[in-house]
Structure 1
């Protein structure tokens, strides 16, 4: 038993330690920052929402009403469940609260296209609440950084116009999924490989599209975690394997018990959907498709007989028909091989020198490859690499300049998601505000490092006539699509502005991919 004086002194020392805890101001600042962003997210509640809103409402009703064995076979609604089991469990968890707010929300048979204020508020707030995981991940990643870097990353991630457009207007749950990814990457960056692998396995059981970075994780963990001799390495390999398998058993085990694994996988991998989404994501296949169309046009003008394709780029493979007139047909297996080949430089680097400080770059590069060369890619998938790259954008002027351009390209490519007139000011203001914050934040940080060059703050973000011309092209493209095209062509060629946007943004995405590839190849 300690004497009273020693006990009192110890308590005073603990109190002073808490008061001088360097992390306390960080937590306080982050809480204030989160409250401000939450306020603006709440203001977006009445905004337009896409069919994804009804998709997720139906998933609430489906998981609440039906037994687990029927989740992946039910076709009561056209919006069938096609996410992995952990996301289905997540919907089931939310449905418990939704049924208390309004029972019609979880009514599978009578709630179709239910648009009452109760369901709108509940689902919007559920997205805002789930963003707590994203906030937590940012705190864990930035708590040991200097204040300017830390706050800049908060702004780039939490205030990302793409994330606000997709989640809080269009409506999805990308924020907390990206938060799980950042928790995993943060653990790997700090050397906590087992936790990083465990969290990534959880992420895959929430959304399987994150599996594109799986090869990078596998090679990195094999070389970095499973090292230290044959016996020790094998023991670690078994440990990691048991942890990952345990996560997948927890996710898929109940469905395997009910004999539903085949149905789950069929829903998750609908390869019949076609090479491109209805709105072409700005990737390599946009350039490929347009090249095919241009070749067909030129050859037809030269007198060659060109057979008109009978299959659709968005409707899937129709028999043996090819949607291409000249160029070879693209299949899911071919895109898989191309993605794996494109990722290979990061795999080689991870095998030769598995550095924790490089893992975020490697994973972001893998998601860039998946976005550019994958099958039926959605434009929203650009967030998978844009958000992780925000963490490394504060490291150098070159990283900041690359992120500045990539963020504009990614955000602008999401504009077609909000196609109604009343949402037009929202997306424009979000992007312009983001550009201003990036310019100020990056310039403020790097100009202090370069006191000998006071011009750094002015020329930091855009150097070279090519970059300046490309960014100026977005202004021209927007003026054409919003004003000149309707005025000059009316209802003619309605798909032209979208096609031009996809093509133009695809050029920027290809530029970013080449830049990332060069950085990885040159890294030591």
Structure 2
């Protein structure tokens, strides 16, 4: 296979176009995350470092790792030239036009990291043959799938967050591993972990892959790997990189004796198992099963409604709750289930190393396993799977099918983030455009190799249309709107959970087939 490199003739206009398009949404709807990051700007600018993780004037306290706090500190130095009042801690919910302009532009500007990472990933795409037709170039298709990703656009440039900046580090790290530059990849991932700790989801994939493929060297004669080929020097260099980054990030707070306080902010386990059904994972199905059993038990007079604990999963609140019939889930249980779900992928990459693309597949399974079984998982975390999966989708027909299923399902699960009527047309049009391109471009890349989706999968995706009409059009006009305001969230999450769970199984089936091929002589 050849590695495709087409120059910058089409990439720069593509990147510039998406950046300009983002500017159209500067005054669009924004969520409470806008105030979260404004408050963090104020905290890091106005208070000494020793107070950053203790400040609680606002309910939106600083709960990202220290490197992200320093990132906010750097942004605040620019923000003061737009509007100094946004940097006052006591100015809660402050949103002057200058503040809105600065924060929106800061997301667009820091997306340059993501744009560069996309370029590096597009250079790593393997192709069977090089085509002059731009639509037949996997690197072009991959760049569009990443730069114009519907979910990332909605979450960052309407809802408001800095995920593009963070995913830039992740994709750049993956690209470095695809280019066999392991130390640079490890450095970038270490920085990423200290920017946002959600990337712990994929840390097992990184740890096992680097230990197996970098710290062990292959025998020159037969290509085998054994304990004799273990390089202590490589391990020490790798460990030195990781320790250095964590020391620079966490070290000052460790010296000040504030590490426990920082950790308590990073891992607040009292937020509850789920967040109002928003994450389409196994616990959404578990919760709905508990409610179905309650209804059946009461109607069959097997349970007394007055004696049941009051479950508040659908109340839209972030809090702990007890299940009524099924055993309640603890953080330890979710950790055990998560580790169990990713164990086969980690074992596989250790026993049968398959290079950087084997690592990438393991990364996807770790990310999706953590999304499926993790504690208080947010719906936005599905992007941690969809974006890296784009790389494999342009290279493999089977992975393209999984991508179409997971991206369509996962992206639709983000619809409740934009819940105001003004954004309905925007989110529908943007998703239709991205989904249409995904299906058309991937089908063209893999033409002549059979259908990308099975009939049952197509039927399931068509069901999303019915769910969308029911939740976005019919429900707002029904009398249930005030009685059951969170019903659309429940329906969306439960339906999408089925697709996400199925995609998880398909990814593992793909890994199993790959292992079977590796065993064949």
Following the alignment from structure 2 to structure 1, what is the Cα–Cα distance between the partners of residues 478 and 191? Answer: 52
Asked if residue 434 in structure 1 is aligned to residue 434 in structure 2, the reply is yes
Moved more, 345-354 or 123-132: 345-354
Matches within 5 A, 1:148-163: 148-163=137-152
Q: How many residues end up aligned between the 2 structures? A: 487
Contact 1:345 1:520 in 2 (8 A): no
Q: Which residue of 2 aligns with 1:478?
A: 468
* Residues 127-163 of structure 1, C-alpha deviations (whole Å, 9 max, x = no match): 0111111111111111254561011111111111100
Q: Which moved more, 1:197-206 or 1:163-172?
A: 197-206
Residue 26 of structure 1: CA displacement? 2.2
CA deviations 1:445-493 (Å, max 9, x no partner) are: 222xx3xx8xx5xxx44431x1222111111111111232233434332
Asked if 1:139 corresponds to 2:81, the answer is no
Q: By how many angstroms is 1:280 displaced?
A: 2.7
Shift of 1:255: 1.0
The two structures, once aligned, show a CA RMSD in angstroms of 1.7
1:98-117 aligned within 5 A: 98-109=79-90, 111-117=91-97
Select the residue among 237, 262, 285 that pairs with 1:287.
285
What is the aligned partner in structure 2 of residue 199 from structure 1?
188
Deviations for 1:331-352, whole angstroms, at most 9, x for unmatched residues?
Answer: 0011011101100111111111
- 1:127 equivalent to 2:104? Answer no
Deviation of 1:315 (Å): 4.4
SS at match of 1:282: coil
After the TM superposition, which parts of structure 1 deviate over 6 Å for at least 4 consecutive aligned residues?
none
TM-score between the two structures when normalised by the length of structure 1 = 0.90
Number of the residue aligned with 1:185 = 174
8 Å CA contact 1:105, 1:114 repeated in 2: yes
What SS is found at the alignment partner of 1:45? Answer: coil
* SS of aligned partner of 2:483: coil
Instruction: Render the CA deviation track for 1:212-246: whole Å, top value 9, x for unaligned.
Output: 11111111111111113658522211111111010
Matching of residues 82-481 of structure 1 within 5 Å: 82-109=63-90, 111-145=91-125, 146=130, 148-228=137-217, 230=228, 233-306=231-304, 307-310=307-310, 312-313=312-313, 315-317=318-320, 323-354=322-353, 355-447=355-447, 450=448, 460-464=451-455, 466-481=456-471
2:324 aligned counterpart, secondary structure: coil
Alignment partners' CA distance in 1, 2:87 and 2:214: 45
1:499: Cα distance to partner? 0.7
Question: How far is the alpha carbon of 1:270 from its aligned partner?
Answer: 0.2
Deviates more, 1:209-218 or 1:59-68: 209-218
Partner residue of 1:9? none
Tell me, in whole angstroms, the C-alpha distance in 1 between the residues paired with 2:475 and 2:164.
35
Change (3 A) 1:105 1:230: farther
Contact kept, 8 Å, 1:274 with 1:312, in 2: the verdict is no
Unpaired runs of 5+ residues, structure 1, are 1-21
Judge conservation of contact 1:342–1:369 (CA < 8 Å) in 2: yes
- Is residue 4 of structure 2 the alignment partner of residue 51 of structure 1? no
Task: Tell me the residue number matched to 1:19.
Answer: none
Distance in 2 (CA, whole Å) between partners of 1:114 and 1:284 is 38
Deviation at 1:114, TM superposition (A): 1.3
- Structure 2, unaligned stretches of length 5 or more? 218-226
Q: Secondary structure at the match of 1:100?
A: coil
What secondary structure does 1:26 align onto? Answer: coil
Deviation readout 1:378-429 (Å, 9 max, x if unpaired): 0000001110001110112221122112111111100111011111111000
